[in-house]
Structure 1
Amino acid sequence: MLPDIQLNHRDCKEGMASQPAESFDLVVTSPPYNLGIKYDTYEDRSERSDFITWCLEWAAEINRVMSEEASFFLNLGASPKNPLLPHQLLLALTEAREGESPMFVLQNTFHWIKSISVETKDKGMVSAGHFKPINSKRYVNDCHEYVFHLTKSGEVPLDRRAAGVPYVYKSNIARWGHTQGEDKRCRGNTWFIPYDTIQQRDKDRPHPATFPVALVEQCIKIHGLAESTRMLDPFNGIGSSAIAAMRQNIASYTGYDIDEGYLAVTRQRIEAEQQQTPELL
């Protein structure tokens, strides 16, 4: 069945303010990074203090609409010249203010690996994934971003195996008691998820800062509510979260974006997903 998908051409702060308290189980989003990325209708460059203040405003609404057992997965990237932004925002979201409890608790930190090279046992080299090359004598290519798992209490249970991986050595399944006989282990906090290959950026990825559908699917799986999940993405973009909601067959998805063009692309992607997956019709 197709999830109840609500796409809203609206500022997320205003939109979330109209939602009842504790109306979502899961929030997965990637806000603008304030790194000068060129969006169609948003200026991604402001004073750092102003940017943090703005983030605290929409984060307060996220906190209000989250249930007590909800998870907030916040994807943030940096740039070689501006490496501290993710950490500065994280500190602002988790620090206690005078007379108040912290807005969020950092429960887990995941590293989204976009590109990786691994030396094999026979001294060969395996490289996989994609990265944005830079021409610099000072900095190396940045091949990862953060996904901060924020909750209200820091004690939200997860379904670690739902997003897990099979054991390489099957003898470990019977050898270790923690496996409980299941051929799947916790994936850990390092997620290798490359971008989908595209042929034409304007056609296949008409947004300057998307995240893969598979990244959102990992968040849905590990949170562990399966089909009952009510998910929110305050920065919908071109709808990777909406497609993930469809593929994971969750109950509902709500997305906000101030750019009608991005929402139009989201609707096209939803229609294409339905055509590829007839059972969603």
Structure 2
Amino acid sequence: MNLLHGDCLKLLPTLAEQSFDLVVTSPPYNLGIAYSSFKDTAPRDEFIDWCKSWSAELKRVMADDASFFLNIGASPANPLLPHQLILALTDGPEPLFVLQNTFHWIKSITVETRQSEFLSVGHFKPINSKRYVNDCHEYVFHLTKTGDIALDRRAAGVPYQDKSNIARWGHTDGVDKRCRGNNWFIPYDTIVSRAKERPHPATFPIALVEQCIRIHGKGKATRLIDPFLGIGTSAIAAQRQNLAGFTGIELDLGYLETARLRLDEEHTLL
């Protein structure tokens, strides 16, 4: 585990070219979230330019067949941010990346069963509004250098509901697992105390990072980087998956210390 304290724009240039197979990260969303050491209220153009700068450095350290999973959310009053950012990274005469897949991270969902029963699972922050509905999802953009990177779709897949499809379709190879698709229901873990268990205003679940590791398909040989480590969620996922290498960068020393503590606690459980 290589956990670095500092600004990713200063630290990324010190890392070797093409030294990582996978990027999974969630940068500040520029939606006014109260981080400890980062002002999340920059003008939109300034924020987009900043994202392009660190994304260019990520591209330099990514192997040619690497995947970059970029998690970003919006707010009901600010819905265009994810789309503006992804256009900035993929459009224009010299785009940084190709958008290969768009995944929807579903945090909470209600499903009506065939018996007309309602099943609600997951967690979300309710909105008290007459104009907007509760926001129960975020985006995970899958970016690559060329747009033609092979994935291990079944590694992140699900069993067939209708088992007759296993024999019916030749592409199954007799395996009871199919591609999950681009809707990923991954709820937050239930916690008792946010201050103690999740002392960060914007985290993603460990399982979300593990899903990205699986679908990229390099297994334990994966070298993962997260330039916005926060309290270490991606580092814990890398440790659980026993990856070949992990580098995390975090500007806030308090968050970084929390990440180290979480890793130590996780190690004692393995």
TM-score of the two chains, using structure 2 as the length reference: 0.99
Aligned partner letter, 1:268: L
Count of aligned residue pairs for this structure pair:
270
Partner of 1:75: 71
1:229 aligns with 2:200: no
Partner of 1:247: 240
2:135 to 127, 139, 142: 142
Dislocated runs of 4+, deviation >2 Å:
none
**Alpha-carbon distance in structure 2 between the residues aligned to 1:160 and 1:248:** 17
Conservation of the 8 A alpha-carbon contact between 1:236 and 1:257 = yes
Matches within 5 A, 1:14-93: 14-93=10-89
Matches within 5 A, 1:92-107: 92-97=88-93, 101-107=94-100
**Alpha-carbon distance in structure 1 between the residues aligned to 2:61 and 2:91:** 20
Partner of 1:119: 112
Aligned partner letter, 2:107: K
Aligned partner letter, 1:43: K
Deviation for aligned residue 1:109:
0.2
Pairwise CA RMSD of aligned residues?
Answer: 0.6
SS across alignment from 1:195: coil
Deviation for aligned residue 1:222:
0.2
Partner of 1:210: 203
SS across alignment from 1:216: helix
Aligned partner letter, 2:158: V
SS across alignment from 1:72: strand
**Alpha-carbon distance in structure 1 between the residues aligned to 2:236 and 2:156:** 17
1:129 to 122, 137, 152: 122
SS across alignment from 2:24: strand
Deviation for aligned residue 1:181:
0.3
Conservation of the 8 A alpha-carbon contact between 1:96 and 1:103 = no
Identity of aligned residues (%): 66
**Alpha-carbon distance in structure 1 between the residues aligned to 2:168 and 2:83:** 40
TM-score of the two chains, using structure 1 as the length reference: 0.95
Deviation for aligned residue 1:105:
0.2
Structure 1 portions without partners, runs of 5+? none
1:200 aligns with 2:196: no
**Alpha-carbon distance in structure 2 between the residues aligned to 1:104 and 1:9:** 27
2:155 to 159, 162, 174: 162
Partner of 1:179: 172
Partner of 2:251: 258
Aligned partner letter, 1:230: R
**Alpha-carbon distance in structure 2 between the residues aligned to 1:191 and 1:112:** 5
Deviations 1:213-236 (A, max 9, x none): 000000000000001100000000
Deviation for aligned residue 1:189:
0.3
Partner of 2:3: 7
Deviation for aligned residue 1:96:
2.4
**Alpha-carbon distance in structure 1 between the residues aligned to 2:244 and 2:232:** 16
